[in-house]
Amino acid sequence: MGRLISLRHPTLRKTAALGLAAIAFLGCTGFQMSGPQSTLLTEGPVARMQTDLFYLTLWVTLFIFVAVGGVLAYAQIKFRAKPGDDDTPPDQSHGHPLIEIGLIVGSTLLLVIIAIPTVKGIAYQEDTPDRENALVVRVTGYQWWFKFEYPELGLVTANEMVIPTNRPIHLELRTIDVIHSFWVPRLAGKKDLMPNRANHMWLQADQPGYYWAQCAEYCGESHANMKFRVVSLDPTDFEAWTKRQLADARTVDATAAPASGAQPAAGTVVRDAGASFDVSPLAHWQAMQVEPAAGSEDAALIARGHELFKTKSCNACHAVKGHDAMGNIGPDLTHFGSRTTVAAAMLDNTSANLHLWLTDPNGVKPGNIMWKQGYVGYNIQLTSADVDALVAYLLSLK
């Protein structure tokens, strides 16, 4: 061996500096990986299997990197040209059969270590366990939102998929237009929604929670704005949610005493779920399910909004069960007021954000059909007072 490797050597100094810079960069950019769409914080068996596989692959490849890099660095330092060496090339030899065979066997072994759990994992994520007991949800991708149908329960919702905990959810993946991709990072890896092809996957949530999700396949102008949420609930809470969803849309009694200044306060516009919301998103979701106290809403304004919903042809594209609205081009809005987000999870569902969405849909989600076909195509025009009434109506739909 001779001399010890010391940091005085320029190659080593450069390598060490580069390594430190990389660590500092990762440290500065929030390496903790705890964001709402982190794939490393798993909350269900499918995501757990996939993350385990990721780490196994990471350790094996890290071992290869260190072993190969170490030998390479050693050889470069040990056999580098030294002052006073002559220029004649060293003796040329053909190699070392034992080392070559050893490397082939070693590499194959490492591949096998990765391949066995990979193949097992693929089979695991393809086969929904306990298929008879699994809840079927049909997911349909639209440019740019998600429809969720529960064929066994006979209900439909949009942009918020609610599921029971500890029960496999069998997802039938469909698309109405282009390729989209269904991705709930903390629950399961992504899978494409393909035109003319029936895809499926499954996922399961360990405990009640609120999960961020995202279309993960480029699908046009507002691909990045095609998000959704998944809410997992205890079976009893899920049953209660199911009952509420099956009911017709809520009707506010217009003969009730007029509320004084009861219109929801126009808060600040929050893009992408603000900090206060993130403290406890599930508690926020639960609060959204509660009907407002009797008399706390402006019944006359809501009634006007309901009327506008028909006269402005909103009902041609949107369904509101029990309210003479049966359109099926846009999201079903029967229980819109109980959802936490607007415009495929682009905005928190607040009156200010809803006002923004109805006033300038193209600014929130460029190219969307409501704007393109409705506002531009059919020249739908809403005054600020119209929007106020529609906002009150939509938020009353618990």
- Is residue 219 at the binding interface for ligand CUA, with CB under 6 A as the rule? yes
* Interacting residue with ligand CUA among 144, 148, 211, 375 (CB under 6 A): 144
Question: Which residue number, 147 or 323, has a Cβ lying nearer to ligand CUA?
Answer: 147
Cβ proximity to ligand CUA, 222 vs 245, nearer residue: 222
Stretch that binds ligand CUA, among 97-105, 153-161, 219-227, 319-327 (CB under 6 A): 219-227
Distances (CA, A) of 72 to 67, 77, 95, 398: 9, 9, 16, 66
In this structure, which amino acid lies at residue 257? A
Q: Which is nearer to ligand CUA, 178 or 246 (CB)?
A: 178
Residues 226-285, interacting with ligand CUA (CB under 6 A): 226
- Least CB distance from residue 43 to ligand CUA, whole Å? 23
Task: Compare residues 370 and 391 and give the one whose CB is closer to ligand CUA.
Answer: 370
Contacts of ligand CUA in 189-218 (CB under 6 A): 215, 217-218
Residue environment code for 181-217, b if the CB has 16+ CB neighbours within 10 A, otherwise e: bbbbbbbbbbbbbbeeeebbbbbbbbebbbbbbbbbb
DSSP state, residue 371 = I
Separation between Cα atoms, residue 187 and residue 46, nearest integer Å: 7
Taking the complex as a whole, how short is the minimal distance between the CB of residue 217 and ligand CUA, in angstroms? 5
Separation between Cα atoms, residue 132 and residue 378, nearest integer Å? 46
d(CA 104, CA 141): 46
223 binds ligand CUA per the rule CB under 6 A: yes
* Torsion angle in degrees (nearest 10) through CA of 255, 260, 264, 268: 160
Say whether residue 331 binds ligand CUA (CB under 6 A). no
Q: Interface with ligand CUA includes 141 (CB under 6 A)? A: yes
Q: Does 180 bind ligand CUA (CB under 6 A)?
A: yes
**Nearest CA-CA partner of 80 in 3, 19, 7:** 3
Backbone angles phi, psi at 375, to 5 degrees: -65, -45
Question: Considering beta carbons, is residue 9 or 223 the nearer one to ligand CUA?
Answer: 223
Of 63 and 218, the one with the shorter C-beta distance to ligand CUA is 218
Instruction: Give least dist CB 222 to ligand CUA, A.
Output: 8
Interacting residue ranges for ligand CUA, rule: CB under 6 A: 141, 144, 180, 215, 217-219, 223, 226
